[in-house]
Chains A and B, each alone.
Chain A
Amino acid sequence: MDKKTLVRILLFFLLFTVHYSLFTVFADTSDVYLSITKAGGAKIKIAIPDFSFQEGAIDRENFSRKSAEILMDDLNNSGFFKAIENRDILKEVNTKDKKTGKINFNAWTSLGAETLAKGNINIEGGEINIECRLYDLKRGEQIIGYKYSGDRTTFRQMLHKFSDEITYRFTGEKGVAMTMLTFISKATGNKEVYTSDYDGQNIRKITDDKSISLFPKWSPDGKSIIYATFRYRNPDLYLINVADGKKTPVSIFPGINAPATWSPDGKRLAVSLSKDGNAEIYTMDINGRNLLRLTNSRSIDTSPAWSPNEMEIAFTSDRAGSPQIYIMGSDGANLRRLTYQGSYNDQSSWSPDGNKIAYSSLNGGQFNIFVIDLVSNKVQQLTSDTGDNQNPAWSPDGRHIAFSSNRDGKYQIYVMNSDGTDQRRIIYLEGGGYSPSWSQRIE
């Protein structure tokens, strides 16, 4: 046993002791915490009746129903809330409110709800105005109220915004309803880059390369996406401005220029380049300048993922014979192997708190998504017995993971909680869905 191992073992025991004592401290003081979440049976029960529509107008596009549905989905998706589902009862109490001209708090409470969200839609010309209010039923008072204005294209965004405000009010952090996804689909016959809202709605194709596009990744500011394209007869790296679709070449060296990942500050990229004859990890400015080579081996080095604190880069290498995940400093120093379980691991994605890495692992002919804890090195399998599951991408709040799965035939985009529960398909396209990347909040 060398000195290093000894130090490691000692460190492990030290960490274990610290964790154990912390745990006991929290166990003693967590009554307050638990009582808050316990109140609604772990989740907060919210009543959301159909929004009311302006007097005398006909709601041809069914905005009042849609508004309530979008808000319910958002809050259910957040994992903190449980929306009351029985529409008839919601309608009944809501009608009573309308008749009496006030909110019957007791009637709402009797449905089992703790909080109530109501909205009022007004359309003038092409403009949609929505007034939204949130009530504390126990106290019988309004908690927040917001007025949103937009048009048909931003209708859903208005409700997502309100949902995030509600989440913030109860949890202290904004939800992910204002985030977006980017992914690849072959809907046109060619693999192109698409974006959607976090819930899989508002799907838009943002490239028209009529070639092969791969590995799109949102910039931290949510304004652009880097991706690989074969449009110019080589796997090149391009930056696309999401707002106007303008494309800029970033890395067009001979050989592969992908996949790439953003540094958390959005100033640098880590990229796999084969310009020197073999795939190696480099970092570069987002205009492709100030190239820095981080790896130097005869093996394949690819799939870089930057740690949220900017200090480290995880990547995949087959230097030990099979693809495994390694971590090095963002200057290339302090290389260490992370995964020892499984004979084919790739597609690292760092959790927003920096404590975990999600990755995909090929085992028994199928890919599944795993999460490894960087402190304990404990591995948790999130998907199993459901076809291939690949490309995990964390939501910015760390509570969800988007991924692609072919469990229903073609690869499509799915989302699950970060503990593997509640796996659901959020996008279905004939051309399939691959390689999702989750954006930060985009206001």
Chain B
Amino acid sequence: MVKNNVKYLLAVMFIVFSVSVFINSCAPKKAKVDQAAIMKVDERAAEEARLKAEEEKRLKKEEEKRLKEEEMKRAEEEARLKAEKEARLKTEEERKRIEEEKLKEAEGEIKPQIAREAETKAAPQLEDIHFDFDKSDIKTDAREALQKNADWLQKNPDIKIQIEGHCDERGTAEYNLALGERRAMSTKKYLISLGISADRIYTISYGEELPIDPNHSEDAWAKNRRAHFLVITKT
């Protein structure tokens, strides 16, 4: 019985072997070549893919690098611009602050300086400036005149001036006395902001007492609301 079993086993093994030889010796030959070829193609594709991937990776890296560099550059540029802007703003702010401080100083600490004993003379080189009703702020068109007056004062550094503040007749004499003072002082402050030394500028308010045009018209009033400049010849 055992012998039969071995015979069976051997027979099966033989069949398996034969079949396997048959399989190996017929169909698989072509397949082998093809297989090899396929493998090669695969390999090439894989290699190509690898290379491509590598290339892509490199390119990507490069691109990334470039982008990063660009980004960095842009950031740098931005930072630079920002810094520049900041610097500009800072100087501007600084300038403004200084100006404001100057004005503040002028407002807070510049007190009226009067020329009791002084002798004065007309100053045709210095242009009058005019104000709106009940106002003492320097109007835009007055700035040009004050710049000219300041330029002349810069060129004549030994000359001291007196600013007279005047009002039109329409308000009360009481209030106008204070308003004329404000006009003289705001004119003085503006000249100081243009670089004229405070101690060269004396002020006085005449309120509504000395109109340049005695008429009672809009025209006359506009002329009378003024800051007038005199040159001090002797203090």
Contacts of A316 in B (CB 8 A): 174-175
Contact flag A362-B170 (CB < 8 Å), given A278-B182, A300-B182, A303-B175: yes
Query: Do B178 and A302 have beta carbons less than 8 Å apart?
Result: yes
Contact of A233 among B108, B115, B181 (CB under 8 A): B115
Compute how far the CA of A254 lies from the CA of B174 in the bound complex, rounded to whole angstroms: 17
Contacts of A367 in B (CB 8 A): 172
Query: Do A277 and B177 have beta carbons less than 8 Å apart?
Result: no
Q: Nearest Cβ distance between residue A156 and chain B, in whole angstroms?
A: 31
Contact with A along B85-116 (1 / 0, CB 8 A): 00000000000000000000001111111111
Contact of B204 among A234, A279, A390 (CB under 8 A): A234
Query: Do B116 and A233 have beta carbons less than 8 Å apart?
Result: yes
Interface presence of B187 (CB below 8 A): no
Closest to A257 in B: B177
Interface presence of A330 (CB below 8 A): no
Contact flag A277-B111 (CB < 8 Å), given A215-B173, A233-B204: yes
Query: Do A300 and B172 have beta carbons less than 8 Å apart?
Result: no
Q: Nearest Cβ distance between residue A275 and chain B, in whole angstroms?
A: 6
Contact of B172 among A276, A278, A322, A390 (CB under 8 A): A390
Compute how far the CA of A350 lies from the CA of B99 in the bound complex, rounded to whole angstroms: 44
Contact with A along B166-194 (1 / 0, CB 8 A): 00001111110111011001000000000
Interface presence of B224 (CB below 8 A): no
Contacts of A303 in B (CB 8 A): 172, 174-175
Interface presence of B134 (CB below 8 A): yes
Interface presence of A63 (CB below 8 A): no
Query: Do A259 and B174 have beta carbons less than 8 Å apart?
Result: yes
Closest to A359 in B: B172
Q: Nearest Cβ distance between residue B230 and chain A, in whole angstroms?
A: 12
Contact with A along B10-50 (1 / 0, CB 8 A): 00000000000000000000000000000000000000000
Contacts of A212 in B (CB 8 A): 206, 209-210
Q: Which residues of A281-308 are within 8 A (CB) of B?
A: 298, 300-303
Q: Nearest Cβ distance between residue A354 and chain B, in whole angstroms?
A: 22
Closest to B116 in A: A233
Query: Do B172 and A254 have beta carbons less than 8 Å apart?
Result: no
Chain A residues at the B interface, C-beta cutoff of 8 Å: 191, 212, 214-215, 228, 230, 232-235, 254-256, 258-259, 272, 274-279, 298, 300-303, 316, 318, 322-323, 344, 346-347, 360, 362, 365, 367, 390, 434-435
